Amino acid sequence: MELILPFLIGILFSASLYLILHRHFFKLILGLILFGLATNLFLFVIGRLTRGGSAIIGQGENVATEPFADPVPQALLLTAIVIGFGIQAFAIVLIKRVYQSFGTTDLDDMSTTDQIEENH
Amino acid sequence: MNHLLIMLPMLIPLYGAILSLFSWRYVRAQQFIGILTQVCLLIATFLLLFDVNENGIRTTQIGSWPAPFGITLVADLFSSMMVITSAITGMAIYLFSIKGLDKARQTFGYYPVLLILQLGVSGACLTGDLFNMFVWFEVLLICCFVLIALGGTKPQLEGAIKYVTINFLATGFLLTGIGVVYGIMGSLNLAELAVLVRTPVSHPALITMAGMFFLIAFGIKAAIFPLFFWLPASYHTPPIAISAFIAGILTKVGMYALIRLFTLIFVTDQELTIPLFTVLAGFTMVIGVFGAASQNDFRKILSFHIVSQIGYMLMGLALFTPLAIAGSIYFIIHNILVKTNLFLISGVVAHRHGSFALKKLGGVYLQQPLLSVLFFISAFSLAGIPPFSGFWGKFMLAKAGFEIDSFVIVFVSLAVSLITIFSMTKIWNEVFWKKKPVSDPLLEVMTEREKHDNRLLHLPVVMLVGFILFIGLYAEPVVAMAQLAAEQLLNSELYINAVLKK
């Protein structure tokens, strides 16, 4: 199980970057979501995986009995998921608005803010 | 009381934002609450700065959980200076927004979002916890997303999509870096991390790798070379009140995080990081200033100059002597004020003359001599002409560079200053000095009310110029404070002892 996860994270990262570089709005959104997932999964795995040991201190004990899962990455992960969810929701609405006002799905059509305006 | 003082820069904007949200339909009430909040924030941050200056680093533990376990808030001189500068800028922006921003945007939650943005800035500067820093950066970024897209005009949407995408990626890098740091060292408290990286059992190579994640993440947010392309593409698109605030504050908060982390934690492999920073600083300065020289829009010139100025701040980190870091700190404070002010001036000009394009503008000197003088002071300050504020920052940086024989980077920085003068002269010639090319009869005739509004817009500009002149002409206390802040940064023991109470 521990061996699969690094590969999974790598695949998610590469797939998300591939999709982001595709320059299509829908793929951009998919890429961003996958990128968020990949970082979240990475954060989860980096705290070392422990199965079936919750970090609850039993009655009458001072510390939790080993082995227990590290609760910190899980707390971080929860926060990161919530924040990522908010940003993704915003990005989806933004891209919908962009599609409605520009009528295009190609990021390459959106270069006006970079151009130097000569004849205005 | 001391614990409350550290909390206040966050609590005041938070409660201000909540109150503004409750008075959603009454823009007048929101304006009133906003100004009141800004005044309170200014007083609170001033008291905090005074307290920290007197008594050294102040800390508080949220919920009284002891240091490495709970969330720590730390106020040292650098963070207090950042917070007070942000409060001054916020005050100016609020004064400007009342007349300078259209009613439609004001009614759609502009004021609460701006207050939450300030909350994020305060939080990011005062936190003593790596993950907490990430959360505050997200708070301020989300507000920026909203502010850039607020109003939904075509250029704004286009700028927003670039800004959101690149910052989302930066967030991913930041989170990955935090993951790596936690994986190696098992802690996220900055003070405890600072202890852990200095123990012999730490893994220097892995720590450097984690540092590179942070360099990329905050490098994107601070717009250092080669990660700055989103900035000139998005910063000029929203209305000027919004541009001015995010242009003044945001990149510098990224820079703050870089300086904090690379003086406190990622100091183990300086053979790698210092040359890297030197190269990045040089390129950031040069590319930014050349980008500005090729533009012919008031706001776009200023946007590219943000990139160029970031190079100077990075240069202080690259030289890594107490004087250089002090130079960086002074430069950050100076730059936040000056950059915000220049953006506001472009807004006042555009309010009167209806354009940002240099070709369409002209003759402002004849119509608004006061504004011209204000621009003159700010522009010379930006370019670093003595006795204005930019000079002292650049002087400290250059002196620090000469002291450790880094002649190349000092030469580059001085050459970039010259080209900065060229850009500022260009704006001066085109906007203020030359005759107005086409006189549009509609714009020429302003009603008395509009003229009155335009005069009111001068108020924040005058206020900021006052601060710029203060830190330029009466530089000694500010420079001394920056040097003290740099000593606190470089002497990590102070920070560690203050937080962990050893």
Summarize pLDDT for B257-284 with one digit per residue, the tens.
999 999 998 888 888 889 999 999 999 9
Which residue in A95, A92, A89, A51 sits closest to A70, CA to CA?
A: A51
Provide mean pLDDT across the span B473-494.
Answer: 90
Q: Which residues of B touch A118 (CB under 8 A)?
A: 296
- The predicted complex's ipTM stands at 0.90
Number of structural domains in chain B: 1
pLDDT at B201 over 80: no
What pLDDT shows up at residue A117? 65
Mean pLDDT of B216-232: 89
State whether B146 and A86 contact (CB < 8 Å).
no
Phi-psi region of A104 (alpha: psi -120 to 50; beta: other; left: phi over 0): beta
pLDDT band at B22; cut points 50, 70, 90? very high
Residue of B135, B230, B346, B422 lying closest to A83 (CA atoms): B135
Between the alpha carbon of residue B12 and those of residues B8, B250, B437, the distances in Å are 6, 20, 48
End-to-end Cα distance, chain A? 61
Cβ–Cβ below 8 Å for B154 and A101 = yes
* Record: contact B161-A76, CB cut-off 8 A: no
B179 with A46: Cβ contact below 8 A: yes
Full domain range(s) for residue B177: 2-500
Asked if residue B331 lies in contact with residue B392, where contact means CB atoms within 8 angstroms, the answer is no
Q: Does B31 touch chain A (CB under 8 A)?
A: no
Query: Does pLDDT of A67 surpass 80?
Result: no
pLDDT, averaged across chain A: 84
The pLDDT of residue B442: 57
Q: Write the residue in B149, B237, B359 that is nearest to A94 by C-beta.
A: B149
Task: Give the pairing of strands B58-61 and B72-75.
Answer: antiparallel
The C-alpha atoms of residue B2 and residue B390 are separated, in whole angstroms, by 33
Q: Is the pLDDT of residue A119 over 50?
A: no
Distance (Å, rounded) from C-alpha B224 to C-alpha B394? 18
Chain centroid, CA B278 distance in Å? 21
How many distinct helices (H) and strands (E) make up chain A? 3, 0
**Contact between chains at B175 and A39 (C-beta distance less than 8 A):** yes
| Confidence (pLDDT) at A120 | 44
Contact (CB<8Å) B152/A114: no
Structure-token match 């439609």, residue found: B104
pLDDT of residue B388: 87
Q: What percent of chain B has pLDDT over 70?
A: 98
Q: Is residue B165 within 8 Å of A32, Cβ to Cβ?
A: yes
Asked if A20 lies within 8 A of B138 by C-beta distance, the reply is: no
Residues B440-454 have pLDDT tens digits of: 655 555 677 777 888
Total residue count of chain A as it appears in this document = 120
Q: Is B160 at the interface with chain A, CB within 8 A?
A: yes
Q: What is the band of B502 on the pLDDT scale with cuts at 50, 70, 90?
A: low
Cβ contacts of residue B191 below 8 Å, gap of 6+? Answer: B67, B68, B72, B74, B128, B495, B496, B498, B499, B500
Decide if A107 is inside a domain: no
Q: Is residue A65's pLDDT more than 80?
A: no
CB atoms within 10 A of CB B489: 23
Q: Is residue A65 included in any domain, yes or no?
A: no
DSSP state of B435: P
Is B157 within 8 Å of A101 when comparing Cβ atoms? yes
Cβ distance A107 to B183 less than 8 Å, yes or no, reads no
Which has the closest alpha carbon to B129: B500, B502, B493, B501?
A: B500
Q: Do A113 and B296 touch (CB under 8 A)?
A: no
Question: A15 in contact with B at a CB cutoff of 8 Å?
Answer: no
Q: How does the average pLDDT of chain B come out, rounded? A: 88
At residue B449, the pLDDT reads 78
Provide the domain count of chain A.
1
- The partner residues of B72 in beta bridges, in order of sequence, read B61
A-B contacts at Cβ under 8 angstroms:
110
CA distance A93 to A105: 14
Chain B residue at shortest CA distance from A75: B131
**What's at B494, amino acid-wise?**
L
More confident residue, B453 or B307: B307
Crossing angle of the two packed helices B407-427 and B389-403, in degrees rounded to 10: 160
Q: Is the CB of residue B204 less than 8 Å away from at least one CB of chain A?
A: no
Q: What is the pTM (predicted TM-score) of this model?
A: 0.92
Q: Does A62 touch chain B (CB under 8 A)?
A: no
CA A110 to chain B, closest CA, distance in angstroms equals 7
Which residues from chain A sit within 8 angstroms of residue B162, using beta carbons? 110, 113
Cβ distance B179 to A42 less than 8 Å, yes or no, reads yes
Best interface-test mutation with B: which of A78, A113, A116 has the largest number of B CBs within 10 A?
A113
Whether residue A101 and residue B232 make contact (CB cut-off 8 A), yes or no, is no
Cis amide linkage into residue B460, ω under 30° from 0: no
Question: Which of A46, A79, A94 lies at the smallest CB-CB distance from B160?
Answer: A94
Q: Does B233 touch chain A (CB under 8 A)?
A: yes
- The model's confidence at residue B384, banded by pLDDT at 50, 70 and 90, is confident
* Integer Cα distance of A65 and B362 in angstroms: 76
Q: Which helix (H) or strand (E) holds B455?
A: helix B448-473
Please answer yes or no on whether B175 and A40 come within 8 Å at the CB atom.
yes
Report yes or no: B232 at the A interface, CB cutoff 8 Å: yes
| Residue A80 domain-assigned (yes or no) | yes
Asked whether the beta carbons of B334 and B316 are under 8 A apart, the reply is no
| Per-residue burial over A27-44, b = 16 or more CB atoms within 10 Å of its CB, e = otherwise | bbbbbbbbbbbbbbbbbb
CA distance B378 to B342: 7
Q: Flag if A91 and B164 touch (Cβ within 8 Å).
A: yes
In a mutational test of the B interface, the residue from A5, A27, A30, A39 whose CB has the highest number of chain B CBs within 10 Å is A39
* B293 CB within 8 Å of a chain A CB: no
| pLDDT above 80 (res B203) | no
Q: Could you tell me if residue A63 is inside a domain?
A: no
Give the pair of three-digit tokens for residue B417: 């200053």
Domain residue limits at A42: 9-50+71-102
| Contact list, A90 vs chain B (CB under 8 Å) | 142, 145-146, 164
Element (DSSP H or E) covering residue B167: helix B154-185
Assess if residue A41 is contained within a domain. Answer: yes
Structure tokens at B339: 């950059």
> Smallest Cα–Cα separation from B495: which of B73, B43, B22?
B73
